[in-house]
Amino acid sequence: MIALRILGVLAVLCIAAVVGLFTLAWQSSIAPVSRPAANDFDPAKIKRGAALAALGDCNTCHTTTGGGAFAGGVPVPTPFGTIYSTNITPDEDTGIGRWSEAAFRRALRQGVDRAGHQLYPAFPYDHFTLLSDDDISALYAFFMTRRPVRAMAPASGLPFPLNIRMIIAGWKLLFFHQGPFKPNPNQSDELNRGAYLVDGIGHCGACHTPRNALGAEDMGNAFGGGEVDGWTAYALNKDSPAPVPWDGKALHDYLRRGWSSEHGMAHGPMVQVIENLKSISDSDIAAMTSYLSNVFGEPSAERRRAAEALLVREYGSHGAAQAGSTPTGAQNVGAMIYQSTCAICHEGGQPLPFGGIDLALSTGPSGPNARNVINVVLWGFPAASGERAPIMPGFADALTDSQLEELLTYIRSRFSDKPAWIDLAHDIRVARGNRPDVSSAPGTDPAGRAVSEHEARR
Amino acid sequence: MKLTVNSREYDVDAEPDTPLLYILRDNLELNGAKFGCGLGQCGACTVLVDGEAVFSCVTPLLLLEGRKVTTVEGLGTVENPGPLQRAFIDEQAAQCGYCIPGMMMRAQALLQKNAHASDAEIRAALQPNLCRCGTHMRILRAVHRAAELLKSARAETSTGSVR
């Protein structure tokens, strides 16, 4: 009898919990509208939306190589399973053609689609929630005036119970803070603008902030460095591994053109980010630069001294480029491979971006792991089509695993004062399994053109 | 240092940092692989190392100890051309011909692993190799033909062994 009563209480509690979660998760559908005509939108607003969409790298996740611009279907690998991006062209049946601006706003700000389904946080609404109504409206104008593409995204392959979208409501309760952005009255307008762009539409933290076991950004360690597609997104805060601390000029150079003489080139997924930033105004780049300078913070006196010594060694006290630093003379296998294979370009004395960077300045050899260096050595930089761009041949098939390991060990010991990397053999094996798609090299991506100014003006 | 090229072992007297391409052309007089850019960007110098296509102009000798190098001369002879060579002749895929040995070697690497390569796979594999004459369509046809030749050659050997 007592057991029965306990069971009854438990049942009631369970029902209450389910009802509670359901209430929390339940969102009403927003009535479909007929697709607004393209000339309903102000061209200036569409243009502003195009720049925001570029800054938000919408194409990176929503356009497949060779696929229709923003038609979705890009697999987004997560530690929990693969999610496929949705079609955000204004196609009525498979895209967002029947979404009102209110529905669009709710998706960005609350992570709920028009029909009321919870959206997985692979869609970075934890950042987009900061967007102003005005900017959301401009993005809406931009997307509703794209060419509609009929394409149904594959269903996401998440295992039970993650395939039940209701549980995302629980995730949000724990980790999601709804916007919009509140400027800090004690900071300059430029800094506030930078914070709004970097933390909002730019969602830089999505890659550069580490994530916890449930896939949420660890806000206690904002910009502490993360992972994306087999690449390490380096820390942008005091833990930055860059041998020369980032300053405003270096950041501006890097964001504007994809390289900085004292740090090196953008690699991996960052190449597409830089490509997209080309359509951003100088003043917005400057605002992001000021905010990011603050995130990096003032380097310690010790770090600054080490960097100055490095730069004097590099350029001489008069700023004239030196022909490479003197090798240590250690003639192990790694040193010999470096001297015969890498030094030709990396100590050639030709400045960036067409010469190779002195690896003592590059962040890679001082990084927390060897993954980025491995990726670059294996796959190089494919030549970009239609523009001048840095090049490097890949050495995947020229180097055996053990030769590559020797080379990496030498690079780490010669160009960084940090302890030797561990797990090199494992990282090499994983990287070899991730041969990049050369057809998506910068300049050949149809998505890049999809957000060009030319199209925005149309 | 000992270097194995086209199944033959050579004693090479050269500095360990010498690019493989120079060894092939200057020391071994195997002139099939060409010097194009010297930067690993054009593919004219492509040869096989352990069955994979590499740019011999940026591959120093010291990486090749104990490994097997194959050049276009290793695919067949003038009298008895191999399937890749046969297909490129049949399709008249060469105009100036400078890129062709590299094209053949990269195609060889692909077809050895995947005799059923699709047109898209062939195009993707040949992406690192440039041709300035513009015989790309003939080169593609030649690679498809080579795949057929390789398949029928394999089929013949297998039926032969049954008999």
Q: A382: which chain B residues are within 8 Å (Cβ-Cβ)?
A: 127
Question: Which residues in chain A have their CB less than 8 angstroms from residue B127's CB?
Answer: 382, 438-439
Confidence of residue A249 (pLDDT cuts 50, 70, 90): very high
ipTM: 0.90
Closest CA to A272 of A218, A217, A237, A231: A231
- pLDDT value at residue B16: 94
Q: What is the reported pLDDT for A148? A: 96
| A398–B58 C-beta distance less than 8 A | yes
- CB of A340 less than 8 A from some CB of B: yes
**pLDDT at residue A372 above 50?**
yes
User: Which pLDDT score, from 0 to 100, does residue A316 have?
Assistant: 72
When CB atoms are compared, the residue of B41, B49, B60 closest to A397 is B49
pLDDT tens column, B90-113: 999 999 999 999 999 999 999 999
The predicted pLDDT at position A352 comes to 84
Nearest alpha-carbon partner for A111 in A23, A205, A177, A15: A177
Mean pLDDT across A235-251: 97
Q: pLDDT-based confidence at A444, cuts 50/70/90?
A: very low
Average pLDDT over residues B70-92: 97
Q: What is the mean pLDDT of residues A17-25?
A: 67
Q: With beta carbons under 8 A apart, name residues in chain B contacting A336.
A: 16-17, 62
pLDDT at B160 over 80: no
**Arithmetic mean of pLDDT, A322-339:** 70
Out of 2.60.40.420, 3.40.50.620, 3.10.20.30, 1.10.1740.10, which CATH number does the structure's domain B2-162 have? 3.10.20.30
Residue A232 pairs with which residues in a beta bridge? A227
All structural domains of chain A = 42-222 (no CATH), 328-440 (1.10.760.10)
- Judge: A391–B55 Cβ closer than 8 Å, yes or no: no
- Helix, strand, coil tally for chain A in percent (to 5): 45, 5, 50
Inter-chain CB pairs, A–B, below 8 Å: 51
Q: How near does any CA of chain A get to the CA of B132, in Å?
A: 15
- Selecting from A339, A382, A396 the residue whose C-beta is nearest the C-beta of B17 gives A339
pLDDT in tens, A114-169: 999 999 999 999 999 999 999 999 999 999 999 999 999 898 888 888 888 888 99
Distance from CA of A63 to the nearest CA of B (A): 19
Of A340, A383, A396, the CB nearest to B62: A340
B60 touches chain A (CB under 8 A): yes
One-letter amino acid of B92: Q
The answer to whether the predicted template modeling score (pTM) of the entire model surpasses 0.90 is no
| Domain range annotation of chain B | 2-162
Residue B44's pLDDT band, with cuts at 50, 70 and 90, is very high
Q: Are A135 and A45 in contact (CB under 8 A)?
A: no
In A, which residues are within 8 Å of B58 by CB distance? 341, 344, 393, 395, 398
Backbone angles phi, psi at A389, to 5 degrees: -155, 160
pLDDT at B159: 64
What lies within 8 Å, CB to CB, of A316 at 6+ separation is A322
8 Å CB contact of B124 and A439: yes
Q: How confident is the model at residue A321 (pLDDT cuts 50, 70, 90)?
A: very low
What pLDDT digit, counting tens, does each position of A159-200 carry?
888 888 888 999 999 999 999 999 999 999 999 999 999 999
**CB contacts, 8 Å: A438 with chain B:** 124, 127-128
Q: Is the pLDDT of residue A318 over 70?
A: no
**Interface subset of A 392-431, CB within 8 angstroms of B:** 392-393, 395-400, 403
Least confident span in A11-25, A97-111, A237-251 = A11-25
Q: For residue range A61-83, list pLDDT tens digits in order.
A: 999 988 899 999 999 988 889 99
pLDDT of A59 reads 95
Q: Residue A390: how many CA atoms within 13 Å on its side-chain side?
A: 25
The beta-carbon neighbor of A336 closest among B16, B49, B52 is B16
